[in-house]
Structures are given as C-alpha cells and as structure tokens.
C-alpha cells in the first residue's frame, strides 16, 4: 500500500510538475496566463498517435517529431496571436481559451471523438514487494526527471536561463540590464510549449486519447500553480508533488477513493485560495511591469 502510494504519487507528481513548470515559466517571464498550455499537450499526444499508428514511424522519432511540430505551432500561435494582445490580461485569458477550443475542434475533425490509445514503448512489469511497476511507468518517470534536471541546468547555468530568471522577477530592471524582453519571451514560449509537448509525448502510452483530454490536466495544473504560487518555479515543482501524493493518498486510503480523484485538485485550489491566496512561494506583484 505504502509503495503503491509512493509510485503513483511520484509519477503523477512528475507529470504535473512538467506541465505546471512550463505554465509558470511563460507566466513568470511574460505574465501570460496560457490556458491553451495543456491543449498543446493534447496535440503532442495526437501527433504521437498519428505518427506511430497511422504512418508507421518508430516511437522515438515520433516523439522528437511531435515535440518539434508542437513547439513550432506554439511559437506561431504566440507570435501572431498572443503577443499582439500580451499586455491586455483579459484578452490573453479569453484568447488562449479560444485557442485551446480551436485546437480541440480541429482534432475532433481529424480524429473524431473516439477514444484512442498508443501501446507502451516497453512492455511488461516487475514486482517490488507485491506492487506491480510497469516498465513504461519507470521509463516515463526517468524521462521526466531527466528533462527537469536539464531545465534546471538551463535556468541556472546559461545566459538565457539568467535572462529568464531576471524577467520573472522584475521585467523593467531586466530590461535595464540590456535583456531583450521580446526575444526572451519568445524563447520562453518555445521552452514552455516544448515542455507541454514532451509531457504529452511521454504520457501518451499511460493514458487514453480524446480531443477533450486537455481539460483535466488544465485543472490540475492550475491547482498546482495556485498551490505553489503563481510564477514561482520552485512552488510549481513542490506543489506538483504535493498534489500527486495527495491524489495517491485519496485514491488508496479512502474507500472508493478513485471516484474522488478529480475533486482533489479542485479542493486544494479552493482551500489555498481561501487560506493563503498567494500560495506557498507566491511573489507579491507590487507595482511592477
């Protein structure tokens, strides 16, 4: 039981972390609340399905192609659709909801609303103290961890990472240091969507595809970000694992807990908003631009 909870919590926590960090990154740097974030994740999952099931491409090349295509799509959406309305918060919110629904409708047209699935990359499982651990789960967890470490190194060790951190804290002062806001925002959007695409690509064998699959992770991601504090990467990371483990606890410890799974994220979101609206590591945005 304990091991079940740990395995399940770690895996879903890592997925949430990837999504939430990508979402926080672009919010932190450009103050964009990108509701379409998980829609890009959905597109990536469909790309994998299309390439592996319809075109016969191998799973690994398919993954790379999916990430490249979705990132490119995200950059186009950003450049021509989000950037012109960037300074107008309400417009960004409405615009990105529209974008997500548009992507959902396009997928509905292409693939219909049928539930689809992609076979695991690695078949089989092993038992650890009576708990079945699938190789695919292990692979997903390993890939997620690798990407999280790579992202951390990028943020802490590279020039772009420095610019991203500066912009997340104070856009105006970052500008005074010679940082080109537009270019860094664009690069960050690429990384952010790339992370969403990667998440979609690794999660696809563990889930069922349909054009509405972006909504549930969106709610979870929002809950993570609210819990961790909007704009804080550290908060998103820790918040994601808190949520992952809480979900696992509810599923395994409460009778018929699986039915309550969906309510965990919403309950946490509401509780945080009542008790501590700025979240665990929230930054107070006082008169900065």
Partner 1 sequence: MLLDVEHLNVFYDKAMLLNDINMGVDTGELVSLVGPNGAGKSTLLRAVTGLVARDREISKRSTGGDVVLQGLIRFENIQIQNIHAHEIVKMGLVHCPERRRPFREMTVRDNLLAGAYLIKDRDKTMSNLAKVYDLFPVLKGRGSQISGTLSGGEQQMLAIGRALMTEPRLLCIDEPSTGLAPILRAEVFEKISEVSRLGITVLLVEQEVGAVFAMSSRNYVLSSGRIIAEGTGEKLLKDEVIRKTYLGL
Binding residues for partner 1, rule: CB under 8 A, are 84-88, 159, 162-163, 165-166, 169-170, 172-181, 289
Q: How far apart are CA 276 and CA 228, in angstroms?
A: 10
- Residue nearer to partner 1 on the CB measure, 5 or 179: 179
- Residue nearer to partner 1 on the CB measure, 159 or 256: 159
- Residue nearer to partner 1 on the CB measure, 177 or 253: 177
Question: Is residue 172 a contact partner of residue 2, using CB atoms and an 8 Å limit?
Answer: no
> What minimum distance in Å lies between the beta carbon of 289 and partner 1?
6
- Residue nearer to partner 1 on the CB measure, 54 or 159: 159
> What minimum distance in Å lies between the beta carbon of 95 and partner 1?
13
> What minimum distance in Å lies between the beta carbon of 174 and partner 1?
8
> What minimum distance in Å lies between the beta carbon of 176 and partner 1?
5
Buried-state track 202-233, b at ≥16 Cβ within 10 A, e below 16: bbbbbeebbbebbeebbebbbbbbbbbbbbbb
- Give the Cβ contact number of residue 186 at 10 Å: 16
> What minimum distance in Å lies between the beta carbon of 36 and partner 1?
20
- Residue nearer to partner 1 on the CB measure, 20 or 47: 20
> What minimum distance in Å lies between the beta carbon of 260 and partner 1?
36
Buried-state track 245-264, b at ≥16 Cβ within 10 A, e below 16: bbbbebbeeeeeeeeebeeb
At 117 the three-state DSSP class reads coil
Question: Is residue 243 a contact partner of residue 261, using CB atoms and an 8 Å limit?
Answer: no
> What minimum distance in Å lies between the beta carbon of 48 and partner 1?
36
- Residue nearer to partner 1 on the CB measure, 105 or 169: 169
Angle subtended at Cα 65 by Cα 205 and Cα 233, rounded to the nearest 5 degrees: 70
Which CA distances in Å does 207 have to 77, 118, 274? 26, 8, 33
State the DSSP string of 45-81: HHHHHIIIIIS---HHHHHHHHHHHHHHHHHHHIIII
Question: Alpha helices of the chain — where are they, by DSSP H?
Answer: 2-30, 37-49, 59-77, 89-111, 135-157, 159-169, 171-176, 181-203, 215-228, 233-253, 261-275
- Residue nearer to partner 1 on the CB measure, 89 or 105: 89
């Amino acid at each position: 039981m304990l091991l079940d909870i740990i395995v399940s919590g770690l895996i879903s926590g890592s997925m949430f972390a990837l999504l939430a960090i990508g979402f926080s990154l672009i919010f932190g740097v450009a103050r964009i609340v990108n509701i379409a974030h998980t829609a890009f994740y959905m597109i990536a999952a469909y790309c994998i399905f299309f390439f592996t099931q319809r075109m016969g491409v191998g799973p690994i090349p398919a993954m790379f192609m999916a990430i490249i295509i979705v990132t490119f799509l995200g950059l186009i959406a950003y450049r021509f659709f989000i950037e012109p309305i960037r300074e107008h918060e309400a417009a960004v919110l409405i615009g990105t909801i529209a974008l997500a629904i548009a992507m959902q409708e396009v997928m509905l047209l292409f693939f219909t609303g049928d539930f689809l699935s992609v076979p695991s990359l690695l078949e089989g499982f092993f038992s650890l103290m009576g708990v079945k651990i699938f190789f695919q789960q292990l692979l997903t967890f390993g890939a997620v961890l690798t990407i999280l470490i790579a992202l951390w190194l990028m943020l802490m060790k590279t020039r772009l990472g420095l610019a991203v951190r500066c912009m997340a804290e104070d856009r105006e002062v970052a500008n005074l240091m010679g940082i080109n806001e537009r270019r860094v925002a664009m690069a960050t959007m690429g990384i952010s969507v790339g992370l969403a695409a990667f998440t979609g690509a690794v999660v696809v064998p563990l889930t069922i595809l349909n054009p509405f699959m972006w909504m549930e992770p969106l709610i979870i991601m929002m809950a993570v970000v609210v819990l961790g504090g909007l704009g804080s990467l550290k908060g998103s990371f820790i918040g994601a694992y808190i949520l992952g483990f809480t979900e696992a606890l509810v599923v395994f410890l409460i009778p018929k807990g699986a039915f309550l799974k969906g309510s965990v994220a919403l309950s946490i979101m509401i509780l945080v908003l009542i008790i501590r609206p700025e979240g665990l590591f929230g930054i107070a945005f006082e008169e900065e631009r």
